[in-house]
Structure formats: structure tokens, C-alpha cells
Structure 1
Amino acid sequence: MAIKMLAIDLDGTLLTDSKTILPGTYKALQEAKAAGIKIVLTSGRPLSGIKGYAEELGLSGSEEYAILFNGAVVQNLDGRVLISHDLDFGDFNTLLHMQRLSDVNLDFETPDRFYTLDKRISIRLQIDGAETKNQLWIQDRSDFKKDFTFAKAVYQCDDPDQVDRLWNRLPDWFFQSYAVVRSWPEVVEVGSLAASKGYAVSELASRLGLSNSEVMIFGDQGNDRSMFEILDFKRVAMGNAIDEIKDLADYVTDTNERDGIAKALRKLVL
């Protein structure tokens, strides 16, 4: 069956390590658009962090979509929320308690801004805020009210050993209660069990009248795994992907630094 939708991760997939879209990848995606294939950026970022890249690809308006916060939120590019799986004040307290297991930063991410209680901010968290073009607010615990909700929480640290320490100490019940992914060596992301990139891509495809077999997905890291676990998708791993993603893929293309998306599209779609 012909591919009618591309769900594409950003960091390490669409983007080079210097956060640019290569000319060859841009050209192939423009050809896919001209052929009527829907392009959906699929990221752990908020809308503010993907909108510039969407506009670079010529994607805008109410009929174009993005999957955000690892699937916790689906919005059109005008900002209207189609799907949302939030965490609440009880989850906020649980996540704060788990932070004590290691010396890591913790931030709570909403479509409007990121919040943290930490006064010492890692370089990694500062970069995360800058790359996503989202404000980072440092608040006291008393500033958070019982009606506070958020899309995703992130533990991160400049020292991967501290993230290892956290990861290895998290109890089994935590993994059974939340969608927990190690998206980078320095980052652990936590969302609702109902939220995943895979579920969100499938649900958006259904809303657009498409079957899973008409969807091709591209990814490279642990937060992309849920997309690779849906067997009906055509699953393409980047050449720079971690081994568990490559093992689940139908096809492994070249790296994000060598037009991996373009090469896969020209071999399999265009």
C-alpha cells in the first residue's frame, strides 16, 4: 500500500547534529509533499520548538499537524490541541520525590513554558529551553497549585552517570505507572501511560482517514521506540540510531548527517 503520511522525529533524525535540515533531505521532503504525502513532525519538544523547522519545510496552518511532548499532545500548526494526555498535581509530587534518588534537574513541561524548582540549572536544561524556544520559570513549591497540569516531565543532567544512578534506582512500579524513556544518555522523559509517539501517530492517521500501513516513521532514540513497536507502520531507523531502534526497524537508512531520510524516501517511496 502506498505511503501517505511521514512521521519524522527531529533531533538526530530530521536535523543534523548542528540542528539544520540538509538540502538533500529538504528536497526529498518537498517532492513527498508535492506527491500529496502528509508530513508530521514528531518530537519530545513543544510546538514552539518545532515551528521554525515546520515553516522551513513549508508546513503551516490548520491542516498541518505536529506530535509533541512524545505524544502527550497533538496540535495543528495553528496551535489548536487535538489530543492531550496530561499529568496532574499528584504526579508532580511523585516526580519530585523520585528526583531525590540522584543529583539531576527536573522540569515540568507545558505548551506555554517549562517549570523547575531547581536553583542550579544544568547546561543541558539551559540548552533544552533555548532549543525549544520555551520560557523556563524557576518557582518555589508553594507556587504550584493543586490544579497544575503538565504534558511531560524531564530529568536531566550534564553528567550521564547521575542519570544512570536515577535510572537504576527508579522502582518497578514507576515504570508501570508512567511512560518512561531514556531519550539520551543525559535525559529521562516521563509522561502519561496514555501518551506515546506511536499511539499519537496512529490516532492522528486514523483521524485523517489513513491506515497504519500507509504511515512511514523515522527515528533514532528511545523516545521513538513506541513508533517502532507498531508493526503496521513502515519503520525506518536512522544509521545513527541506537541498536534497539535498528533491531525493530524494517529498514535502516544512512545517518542524519548524510541525508538518511532522503535516501530512504528515494529507495522506498518516491
Structure 2
Amino acid sequence: MAIKIIAVDLDGTLLTSNNQILPETERVLKQVSRQGIKVVLATGRPLSGAMPYNRQLKLMGKDQYDIVFNGAVIQDLAGNILMNQKMGYQDFTNMLRLQRLAHVNLHFETPDCFWTCDRDIGTNLANNGAVTNNMIKIRRPEEIPQAFSFNKIGFSLIDDLQEMDKLWNNIPEWVFNKYDVVRSFAEIIEINDKIASKGNALIQLADRLKIQQKDVMIFGDQGNDISMFSNPNFKKIAMGNAIELIKDKADYVTDDNNHNGIAKAIKKFVL
């Protein structure tokens, strides 16, 4: 096995609890990148929310890539979109219906900004916009045009975690059949087009680069990483802080995100 792609989730994986990359992890990722291994950030964030970490890792230009919006979009690091899975106005109205099940925020993510019809925004949605360097545009439902399209849907906590539980426990079966639905954190539910996932996007990127799936290593910790860990061909590394389902599907469980788990696994299996 000669690893040629290392795909790394951001929150809870590459980033510490303080949203930082530890110096040793940064050093090791830069080292493998200099050796020609593609380091790919695979995240639920838009590209704008990943670029500060790409820059820190010296990953830039048309020959470097990120998987964003949980796999709905692949972009090179010059900003060009190579793959784009969109949802449309009917999906928008479906989500407004779903929101009625609980008192939660709902927003729609595009490469340019976030959109919401909520006048009252909780700190989770506000922080999401800030962390990803995105403007949040507030519009009434009737102001949304029929041509509206977006890449990802987010439901987030306003002030009561029981409301998130209520929504999660009452999502109708048709929603799971029609969309890719994950509870990425206790306070966040993320929804994508059915065929949009980090795992599918990584397969497409590997094919584009003519790299075999067995030469792809992945790191992750949460529900939106499960699609990568469901691929039997990838070398699958779970963080020590990962949910049990991720650990169960992993080939190896490394240390947690606050103790250089990525660096330790790369030194064990790659360097």
C-alpha cells in the first residue's frame, strides 16, 4: 500500500477543541504534502471555512483540492468547482415543512453565503456563519425565487437541545429515503442530496486523479464521516474522540484531536 491521498475531516479531527491545528500535526501534514501525497480537507464547511487551514498547511492552487459541504462540492484551491451536487426550490419547501416539527434554526448553504428565513438566529447558526467566513442572508419565504439552489441544509440549536432531539426523533422516513441525513453533532443536523457524501466525493476525486481507492487514507470522527468509513477499500483511521460507529468501521483508532492523533497515525502507517 502506497498512500497517495490523505483525506482529513476538520472539526473534531484536524482541529483541536480550540479550532487550531497542533504544531506536530501541521509539521507531519506538510511533510507528506512535500512528498507528493495529496492532503484533502473533507468537511461540512464551505471552501471559505476551510481556506485558512489550507493556507496554514501550504495547500494552494489548481492541483490541490477540498471536499466541502459534506461532499456536495469538490473544489480546487484556486476556487474552481469540479463537482457540484445541488438541491432546488422543492427541497427548500420540503425543509420549511420539516422545520415545523421543532423550534430550531434552518439555513441553506451555497458557495457564496448562507440563507435563512428565520428572523431569530441562535448562537449556533451565528457562530457557523462566523467560523466559515460567510454572510447570513435573511429573507422571507416569498422572497426566495423559484430558481433558488443550494448545496447543503442545516438545522441547528436555538436554545433547547430537547428541540433538536424532538426534530431528530420525528424526521419522517421519506426524508431519509430522499436525502442524505446526518446528525453531525448533538446541536446540528445536516442534509444533502442523496448521492452527495464525503465518501462518494472522495471516490470521484480519486478517479479524477487516477488513484486507486486502496491508496486513500481517511481520518474522521462524526456522523458526516460515516460515508468515508463505509468504503472497504480506504485505509480508515478513527480519531480517539470519534463516535462508536466510526470506531467500529475503522481499521485503526488513533489518539484524539487534542493529542496529535493524525500525526501519530501518519507516522505509523505512511512515514
* 8 A Cα contact 1:159 1:186, kept in partner: no
> Deviation digits for residues 145-180 of structure 1, max 9, x if unmatched?
010000000000043211110011111111000000
Equivalent pair of 1:182/1:189 in contact (CA under 8 Å):
yes
- The residue aligned with 2:171 is 170
Deviations 1:78-135 (A, max 9, x none): 1111001100000000001000000000000000000000011011111100000011
Residue 201 of structure 1 corresponds to which residue in structure 2?
202
Q: Distance in 2 between matches of 1:160 and 1:51?
A: 30
Separation in 2, partners of 1:97, 1:83: 29
What is the one-letter code of the residue matched to 2:258? E
**What is the 5 A alignment of 1:1-270?**
1-157=1-157, 158-270=159-271
Q: Is the 8 A contact 1:155 1:188 kept in 2?
A: yes
The whole-number CA distance in structure 2 between the counterparts of 1:251 and 1:206 is: 25
Deviating runs (4+, > 3 A) in structure 1? none
- Which amino acid counterpart does residue 170 of structure 1 have in structure 2? I
The separation in 2 between residues aligned to 1:146 and 1:261, in whole angstroms, is: 44
Contact 1:9–1:43 (8 Å) recurs in 2: yes
Aligned-partner residue type, residue 5 of structure 2: M
Distance 2:187 2:160 in 1: 7
Rounded Cα–Cα distance in structure 2 between residues aligned with 1:142 and 1:80: 31
Amino acid paired to 2:196? A
Deviations 1:185-238 (A, max 9, x none): 000000100100000011101100101100000000000000000010000000
In the alignment, the residues of structure 1 paired with residue 136 and residue 152 of structure 2 have an alpha-carbon distance, to the nearest angstrom, of 14
In the alignment, the residues of structure 2 paired with residue 269 and residue 63 of structure 1 have an alpha-carbon distance, to the nearest angstrom, of 21
RMSD, matched Cα? 0.6
Percentage of matched positions with identical amino acids: 50
| Alignment gaps of 5+ in structure 1 | none
Q: What TM-score comes out, normalization by structure 1 length? A: 0.99
Write the letter of the residue equivalent to 2:74.
V
Give TM-score, length-normalised by structure 2: 0.99
CA separation in 2, counterparts of 1:184 and 1:160?
Answer: 11
Distance 2:35 2:111 in 1: 32
